[in-house]
Amino acid sequence: MKLSVLPTIIAFLLAQSASGGTNTAYGGEELSVGRTTDVHAVHGIQTSSGSSVLVGKGGESESSANTYAFAVSLSSTGAKQWGWGSNKSGSDAANSVAELSSGDLLVAGWRTVGSVGKRSITKISSSGTELYTATDFGDSSSSNGAYEMIVVDSTDVYLAGLNKKATLDEMAFKSYGNVPGGTAIVQKMPFGSSAPTSSDVTWSREFSGYFTAKIVVPIRADKVAVQLFGEEEEKMAAVVMLNSNDGNIVWGPTVYGDEHGEGTDMTASVDGTFLVMVGHGDGGTGVGISGRVTKISVSDGAALWDNSYSVGGNAKLIFNECWGVVAQADGSGFEVACGAGIEYDTCGHVTGQDKTASCCWGGGRLPTMEGTLTEEMKATWTEEAPLPL
């Protein structure tokens, strides 16, 4: 399933949030640095200075299958401040970004070194200058790896992703679905000023039967929750709770995929007592795909409730896919970023018409702690009119 337009929704929502409600439109050419083919922003953060930093990948050219990593900084008013591009031969991608206390940034993903796909961490200054890229984390020929998420917690860094993938095919992650193959891995390491290597890792834990670890969420001072993805439907949304000091399992992996569908993002409540996982699945209709939200107990992994959210429309359409979630600071609920309408027919949801444009619905949803939808923001656009201003 090709979901190439959804990260643009995420980029739009982040730019809107950072600018205090001023909608700023950015196409792929403006987000990227250097090459501009098939550009995807797949993750972003709001920094301590109030800017937004988005990371992702683009194509080297129309005739090349290689990808390149990029990062771009947007001011609090939505203006582009700087852009970074890897500009190296071969392929690489930026899957996640985190901010250090210094204001410098860590970008996690993967890049080819020779014929090997290696897990990578690039350190970028607050002004957009690359300080180093580290790739020495144990990957080798026919045992490729990639980081999908990086989180800074005090002086430590948590990394989630995969290793031991036999080939470099479909190293897609967030923007085209999920990577097939590999073994999920989670690591913790302290972070200093020099480029890290595998010898710096405090602990590392693998999860056989799962292709990748998608999300890592530190909770309080002693726990870290990890969202896993596997091939079987029930494993497409799984969570394991680890002791953050040694990486030992507290509970799980517990699977939620039969009810939830595919898991895409996860966060913890402000008080640290439960997790909220978002994604998309059947939604109980038997046709189409609806956004899914599941509330999970931190103490034992029990699913406290799961809800389906849909914008409706043609049964062939993706009704709603949810890709990002953050907790509201006051503890009252969560903000969820979703998109819909890109697979079949036109924006009018009329059966039998040719697909004449890529159509999207993007929105912010505000479920309370008990799953009640309290507020909704919608926007619709086509390729001819990319984003509403």
Domain locations along the chain: 259-389
**What residues contact 386, with CB distance under 8 A and at least 6 apart?**
8, 25, 27
Q: What is the structure's pLDDT at 204?
A: 98
Q: Return the pLDDT at 368.
A: 62
Asked if pLDDT for residue 312 goes beyond 60, the answer is no
Name the more confident of 54 and 310: 54
Measured distance CA(231)–CA(257) in Å, rounded:
10
pTM tops 0.75: yes
**Which of the residue ranges 113-122, 254-263, 366-375 would you say has the lowest mean pLDDT?**
366-375
Instruction: Say what the pLDDT of residue 57 is.
Output: 87
Q: What is the pLDDT of residue 135?
A: 96
Mean pLDDT of the chain: 79
Q: Smallest Cα–Cα separation from 113: which of 84, 137, 85, 83?
A: 137
| pLDDT, greater one: 370 or 274 | 274
How far is 203 from 220, CA to CA, in rounded Å? 18
pLDDT of residue 283: 54
The pLDDT assigned to 248 comes to 98
State mean pLDDT over 204-230: 95
**Which stretch of 108-112, 203-207, 312-316 has the lowest confidence by average pLDDT?**
312-316
pLDDT in tens, 82-121: 999 887 778 899 999 999 999 999 999 999 999 999 999 9
- 325 vs 339: CA distance, rounded Å: 13
pLDDT at 179: 85
Tokens representing 256 are 């939620």
Question: Could you give the 3-state DSSP secondary structure of residue 234?
Answer: helix
What is the average pLDDT across 31-53? 79
Could you give the residue ranges of the DSSP H alpha helices within the chain?
6-18, 28-31, 257-260
β-pairing, 212-219 vs 203-207, is unpaired
Of 158, 163, 249, 152, the residue nearest 202 (C-alpha): 158
> Residue 33: its pLDDT value, please?
60
14 pLDDT tier (thresholds 50, 70, 90): very low
Q: Tell me the pLDDT band of 294, cut-offs 50, 70 and 90.
A: very high
Predicted pLDDT of residue 311:
60
H or E, element range at 134: strand 130-134
Res. 253 pLDDT band, cuts 50 70 90: very high
pLDDT band at 19 (very low <50, low <70, confident <90, very high): very low
pLDDT above 60 for 317: no
Cα–Cα distance measured from residue 271 to residue 306, given in angstroms and rounded to the nearest whole number: 20
Any idea which of 179-193, 295-309, 330-344 has the lowest mean pLDDT? 330-344
Give the residue, 330 or 294, on which the prediction is more confident.
294
Predicted pLDDT of residue 65: 77
pLDDT the model gives residue 200? 95
Task: Please check the confidence at residue 342 and state whether its pLDDT lies above 80.
Answer: no
pLDDT at 362: 45
Of 285 and 217, the one with more pLDDT: 217
Q: Are strands 130-134 and 116-124 parallel, antiparallel or unpaired?
A: antiparallel
Give me the percent of the chain exceeding a pLDDT of 70.
72
Q: Inform me whether the pLDDT recorded for 359 exceeds 50.
A: no
Which pLDDT band, with edges at 50, 70 and 90, does 297 fall under?
very high
Residue among 339, 293, 348, 346 nearest 318 (CA): 339
In terms of pLDDT, which residue wins out, 378 or 306?
306
pLDDT at 136 over 80: yes
Mean pLDDT in residue range 21-45: 62
Q: Residue 35's pLDDT is what? A: 55
> Which whole-number Å values give the CA distances from 278 to 8, 43, 386, 389, in the listed order?
18, 15, 25, 27
pLDDT digits (tens, 9 = 90+) for 159-186: 999 999 999 988 877 766 678 899 999 9
